[in-house]
Amino acid sequence: MSDLFLIAHIAGRGVAIDAAQVDSVVDIGEIVAVPRAEAFVRGLAALRSRVVTVIDTGIALGLAPTPDTMRRAVITIVDGHHYAILVDSVEDVAPFVRLPLSSGLALRGGWASVGTGLVERDGEPLLIIDLAVVLPTSPLAA
């Protein structure tokens, strides 16, 4: 039994995102800063007539900030709000079998909280990440 996953790169790593969580993949235009918001909130961007909250995925995962030049984002909807999760790049969408996290695998930083399982692509394991956990409610820098 396999599910559809979007294969993307975040902070240099390949990850798999459950396609059910993905609304669309876009290139974000100008980002308006939100003063006083937590660092993982890069700002606001317009997506057609909609305003999305842009998430600096690097900071949200407790890693280095995502470079400003990276503007590709995965749009996800949580509780009626649209979020743009910045990613390095997006490869494709394909069905994979969802595997449990290998026991004894020591994920560190934000990876530990967002990783929910594995998929194997051509023998290469990719972490399945839960976008809802990448979002604001996640603790900053684990």
In the complex with another protein, the residue whose CB is nearer, 27 or 30, is: 30
In the complex with another protein, which residue's Cβ is closer, 43 or 117?
43
Identity of the residue, 69 or 137, whose beta carbon is nearer to another protein in the bound complex: 137
Count of other CB atoms within 10 angstroms of residue 12: 9
Shortest approach of another protein to residue 129 CB, angstroms?
Answer: 18
Report, in Å, the least distance between residue 119 CB and another protein: 29
- Please calculate the CA angle 26-107-140 and round it to the nearest 5 degrees: 60
Closer residue to another protein in complex, CB, 103/137: 137
Would you say 128 and 113 are in contact if contact means Cβ atoms under 8 Å apart? no
Residues that bind another protein (CB under 8 A): 30, 32-38, 40-41, 44-46, 48-51, 53, 79, 81, 83, 135-137
User: Nearest approach, Cβ of 73 to another protein (angstroms)?
Assistant: 14
User: Minimum distance between the CB of residue 32 and another protein, rounded to whole angstroms?
Assistant: 5
Identity of the residue, 58 or 117, whose beta carbon is nearer to another protein in the bound complex: 58
24 CB-near residues (< 8 Å, 6+ apart): 74, 75
| The pair of three-digit structure tokens given for residue 47, joined into one six-digit string | 């997506």
Smallest gap, in angstroms, from Cβ of residue 62 to another protein? 16
Measured from the Cβ of residue 76, the count of other Cβ atoms closer than 10 Å reads 23
What is the side-by-side order of every strand in the sheet holding 124-129? Answer: 89-97, 2-10, 13-18, 124-129, 115-121
